[in-house]
Chains A and B, each alone.
Chain A
Amino acid sequence: MPHSVSIQKASGWLGNGLLRIFSWIVFLFLVSPLLVVVPISFSGGSYLRFPPESYSLRWYATYFGSETWIDATLLSILVGVVATVLSVAFGFLFALGITRGLRKWSGALEKLALAPMIVPSIVYSVSMYALFADLRLVGTWYGIALAHTVLCLPFVIIVLTAGLKEFDIDQETAAIGLGASRLVAIRRITIPQIRSSLFSAAFLAFITSFDELVVAMFLSGTFGTLPKKMFDNIRLQIDPTIAAVSVLEIAMVVIVMFVLLRMNKGKAGRLA
């Protein structure tokens, strides 16, 4: 019947329209902090106010001119890189293990590895503090890096296990049959093919560490990582420097993501 067809068409059109509107609302909700933070970072005034009364680069100048901000940033980068390297190394071995020899227990082990995500960060931080106090690791940058490594592991393991499960294990077997050792087979055959998973895992690990506050507050002594410095800054003297720092951080993340995306695209094009 033409009548009901037109009703169907109209309702379909209406549904699509609503869906589109809804998607835009969600999108706006997600980016709204950016819409506030970016203008404030270019504020000319001394207070966090939106919209800013005037515009300038003074808070960026403050950031780059301040030794404590730069030290905190460099420390965060160092901690982040070490935590990333360690968590990807351990996580990769773990993921290899549960997709190879330990396949029988892979389900249970994989869930167990997510424990650091589930334990409340305060509980984790307090216990790490107690443990590291005995080990004299409190107040050292590598103490923070070690504690962060544990926090990064779940993300690394989720991503790498998924990548390795998708990988055709027959290729590793074939390489071994053709005369490679297991190690050589993994290095020459497996790793190149799960490269994108490794990059994603490293990226997630670095972000997790770089943005982590609670553990850093407990374990850092007189010095602090970037999130701790930002937190102290808010507590003591609220000024738009943290907005500038946030924008720089966001810019860094966007650039790294863009680079990763390009690298994966180039690889996918060749293998497709």
Chain B
Amino acid sequence: MPDFRNTSALKLENIRKTFGSVEALSSINLEVSAGEFLTILGPSGSGKTTLLRLIAGFVTPDSGSLTIFGEDMTMASAGKRQIGMVFQNYALFPHLTVLENVMFPLEMRKHSRREAAEKAAAALAAVHLDAFGDRYPKQISGGQQQRVALARAVVFEPKLLLLDEPFSALDRRLRESMQREVRQLQASLNLTTIFITHDQEEALFMSDRIAVIDGGTIQQLGTPNEIYYHPRSITVAEFIGDSNILEGTETPDGLRTRSGMLLRRASSSNSGRVLIRPEAIRISREPADGVAMNQFKGKIANRTFVGGFTIYQVDVHGGDTLTVRCLADEETMFDTHQEVHLSIREADCRPVPRDAKEPRG
């Protein structure tokens, strides 16, 4: 199979879009490689829906250019772009059967009815719905409707697949199996996919790369690992995963927080801010040994049991309150008010650069 990884499937350059006086998108630059699964992750109102509609061709930018496989599509109509899209509410046509729904894009492309029916049936088989072609959308479950929408979006071999929060209406169990299935289908078709979501777990789980968007600009673009462990701004750090963010002044030994804790770090920085993921903090009865460790004593302020793991709020003596997450273990669970030792590897105290707009504090 040829390697499309180096081919640019979608390229956005200096895209800008305003609605009235509101700047929905400002200077978006983004390049997606062929076959890649890219997630646009952002809270509601971040501009991610505008960006998706702009890629789909339902919105035209005020300035900038949009290229799909080398072809300038900035002003092309939605139908010309050859993009398959799954809407948040699926937008299945209720007056057509499942098979007719999937045939629709083929008919619009002037395929003969027989050919369209054959291809549509094959697409339905790919999402395990071959037996449901004669049903109407209202007669099948939400998960099945989702698969129909997916089959309809890929049946005409589009250049791009756009997914607009397609899993938000499904319950957790179904959502997870659909996520896996979409990822498999995407990989087997080698289909360049752009996925919109506000759910960071979903983004981390599914994506090759994630573009975190907020305030109409891309805050950070990177692999799930990069985004999670090396957030480039406070916005990204707070949006992805749970985090302890400690501020203070830089000293030769490390960061001295306002409350007086000294955090030694593996690499020096002058950002005045440190990110510690809750699962990077070890909690124990006795002081832990090990080199390159920050050690603190504290008292459990609060305990939350969430099945697979336990979340503690720990008041560090003469310091801040830290959130700690450990794998749940009935034997060694700590009680509220219990004295504990915390240890954090120096490498896990990660500097967070200041946002460009943010004043230095």
Contact = CB atoms under 8 A, between A and B. Distances in A.
A4 to B, nearest CB: 47
Interface string A149-193: 000000000000000000010110111111111001000110011
Interface stretch (B104-112, B174-182, B229-237, B267-275): B104-112
B91 A180 contact: no
Given A179-B79, A179-B156, A189 B93 contact: yes
A244 B317 CA distance: 99
A178 B105 contact: yes
Contacts of B91: 168, 170-171, 173-174
A19 to B, nearest CB: 36
A177 B78 contact: yes
A90 to B, nearest CB: 25
A174 B79 CA distance: 10
Given A168-B91, A171-B93, A270-B136, A177 B57 contact: yes
Contacts of B77: 176
A272 interface: yes
Interface stretch (B3-11, B34-42, B82-90, B206-214): B82-90
A271 interface: yes
B128 interface: no
Contacts of A193: 93-95
Interface string A200-222: 00000000000000000000000
Contact of B108 (A168, A184, A270): A184
A271 B95 CA distance: 7
Nearest to A173: B58
Contacts of A173: 58, 78, 87, 91
Interface in B72-124: 77-79, 83-85, 87, 89, 91-95, 104-105, 108-109
Interface of B: 56-58, 77-79, 83-85, 87, 89, 91-95, 104-105, 108-109, 136, 138, 152, 156
Contacts of A175: 93, 104
B81 to A, nearest CB: 8
Interface residues of A, number: 20
Given A177-B58, A180-B79, A193-B94, 6 more contacts: A173-B58, A174-B91, A179-B109, A180-B108, A193-B93, A270-B136
B353 to A, nearest CB: 39
Interface string A84-121: 00000000000000000000000000000000000000
Nearest to A169: B91
Given A270-B136, A271-B136, A177 B93 contact: no
Contacts of B105: 178-179
A177 B105 CA distance: 9
Contacts of B109: 179
Contacts of B56: 177
6 contacts: A173-B58, A176-B77, A178-B108, A179-B79, A270-B95, A271-B138
A190 B92 CA distance: 12
Nearest to A184: B108
Contacts of A170: 87, 89, 91
A72 B136 CA distance: 47
A171 B152 CA distance: 13
A175 B94 CA distance: 13
B141 to A, nearest CB: 16
Interface string A249-272: 000000000000000000000111
A189 B77 CA distance: 19
B266 to A, nearest CB: 48
A178 B58 contact: no
A173 B152 CA distance: 14
B56 to A, nearest CB: 6
A170 B58 CA distance: 11
Contacts of A174: 85, 87, 91, 93
Contact of A271 (B87, B89, B94): B94
Given A270-B136, A271-B136, A179 B95 contact: no
